Amino acid sequence: MDTAGLFSLTGKVALITGSTRGIGAAIARGFADAGARVWIHGLEAEAGQTLAEQLNGQFIDGDLSDPNAIKHMVNDLSAREERLDILVNNAGVQEPMSVENLDMAVYDRLLQINLRAPVELTGLLIPLLSRSPGASVINVTSIHDTTPHPDDIPYCISKAGLAMFTKAASIELAKHAIRINNLAPGAIETAINRDILDRIGRDKFRERIPLDVAQVEQVVGPALFLASDASNYL
């Protein structure tokens, strides 16, 4: 087997939701370095445009809390691309909340962004994905798709639901030569949780995680594997 280009993304088109910062931005940079033409997505238009220009990619906006915006986003992408090789459903929000103190409006918005949006986006993009010779969908879930965390009920539910969607959809999408996998990070340092890590204490995290809390760049390798032909039967 010729393995020289196994991890190459040259000629592939990738959409990474929530990629103006954090894990999404790191994945976008990694994919661009591997040769992909990346679509940056997010609500921060200035940051998205800047990153897209740096990576010779494109920026697309779309509020994932609004189903109509999702449809508009898909229509815009479909008008500008003949196919989509890689979809990374990375965008997500987290609102700590206990079962005794549920704010159902916040709960509904979180499930819309974290669960319904990636399900809907994947379904609407099947026509573009099916034109790829071997498309890959990557759903960024969380360690909390299986490991419960107190006072984080909506987030845990949304990630567990997304993980099960991946399993069910993998059976359905195989007929289109579309593979779909979960990427479930553990403790990753981002701008969003840096204060929490400092407040809890990094030494406490090291007691539980001998390799320490990961940096966003350390998610790129697994994402690249799932996006590339190296995982074409996974």
Helical pair 153-173 and 117-124, crossing angle rounded to 10 deg: 20
Element (H, E) at 158: helix 153-173
Quick check: 186 and 162 in contact, CB under 8 A?
Answer: no
For residue 100, count CB atoms less than 10 angstroms from its CB and return exposed for 0-12, middle for 13-18, buried for 19 or more.
exposed
Residue carrying structure tokens 């992909």: 36
Total residue length of the chain? 234
Quick check: 6 and 229 in contact, CB under 8 A?
Answer: yes
Looking at the annotation, which residues are catalytic? 155
Residue 43 DSSP one-character state = S
